[in-house]
Chains A and B, each alone.
Chain A
């Protein structure tokens, strides 16, 4: 990806800081610290993909499903985690464990954090995909 320089890093870190701000604010304003789980979820979300990407055999060009099933498992887990980051605040808000405003802030903040992680991975990965 061309022109991923200093400005990209600054913009990404700014967005990351805003995301963390929203999540921490959603906890601290109501003094209920459940929404911090969302940060953990989104940080852990790309991990299955990375691990399974390592486990799969990259030389397997005609992908007989040995390596590919592992890749699919990683994608499945990542999809699970991403929706978990939205569903967890919704569950908490539905049972009035957190307020509705906290839910909205926490979901937006979580999406910003996850977007940062994903775009960081996209900008700065080595050209090895496919």
Chain B
């Protein structure tokens, strides 16, 4: 595998340990939970007596989060090993091609969710010039979608670590 290396610097050894991989997966769950509860916080705050305005969190605010979670689910459900067309014996039936299409849909849903969060923030909170404590709900929406993206990045990286790890074991 040494001559297949693409980058000049090799990965540090601790990155390949099972410990680092497990920590990555736990961390991804933690980040996703953080995103979920940031959004829950905006919804709960919006219907609490603290919210004096008539701006409320409705289903529209949840929609970007739903899309980015869906994208995260799709991205991390795809088998990474099928992605490279030159992997032996799987390129025949066009699995790599299908995997790329599905992965593209997943990334599109994730990016669309993040863009949707920004859209909701701009159209619902910035343009009508909502005052500051109410503005927090829009900011939380953007933060939640960014955290979902971060979580899927962490999960993706730690799942790629797994391949290296199992390869080292099988040697």
18 further contact pairs, Cβ within 8 A, besides A62-B169, A79-B25, A87-B34: A62-B166, A75-B25, A76-B29, A76-B32, A76-B155, A79-B26, A79-B27, A79-B29, A79-B30, A79-B33, A80-B32, A82-B29, A82-B33, A92-B44, A95-B45, A95-B50, A96-B49, A97-B44
Task: Note all chain A residues with C-beta closer than 8 A to B49.
Answer: 96
Within 8 A of A (CB), among B52-78: none
Task: Note all chain A residues with C-beta closer than 8 A to B159.
Answer: 72
Q: How far, in Å, is B87 (CB) from chain A's closest CB?
A: 13
> Does B20 belong to the interface (CB within 8 Å)?
no
Assuming the contacts A83-B34, A88-B37, asked whether A61 and B169 have C-beta atoms less than 8 A apart, the reply is: yes
Q: Is A78 in contact with B45, judged by CB distance below 8 angstroms?
A: no
CB-contact partner of B18 in A82, A84, A94, A130, under 8 A: A130
CB within 8 Å: A-B pair count: 81
In the complex, the chain B residue whose C-beta lies closest to that of A63 is B166
Bound: A92/B44 CA distance, A: 8
Interface residues of A (CB under 8 A from B): 61-65, 68, 72, 75-84, 87-88, 90-92, 94-97, 130
In the complex, the chain A residue whose C-beta lies closest to that of B49 is A96
In the complex, the chain B residue whose C-beta lies closest to that of A130 is B18
Q: Is B48 in contact with A95, judged by CB distance below 8 angstroms?
A: yes
Bound: A83/B26 CA distance, A: 10
Task: Note all chain B residues with C-beta closer than 8 A to A92.
Answer: 44
CB-contact partner of A91 in B27, B41, B170, under 8 A: B41
In the complex, the chain B residue whose C-beta lies closest to that of A60 is B166
Task: Note all chain B residues with C-beta closer than 8 A to A63.
Answer: 162, 166, 169
Q: How far, in Å, is A46 (CB) from chain B's closest CB?
A: 12
Q: How far, in Å, is A122 (CB) from chain B's closest CB?
A: 14
In the complex, the chain A residue whose C-beta lies closest to that of B45 is A95
> Does B16 belong to the interface (CB within 8 Å)?
no
Q: Is B40 in contact with A82, judged by CB distance below 8 angstroms?
A: no
Bound: A88/B34 CA distance, A: 10
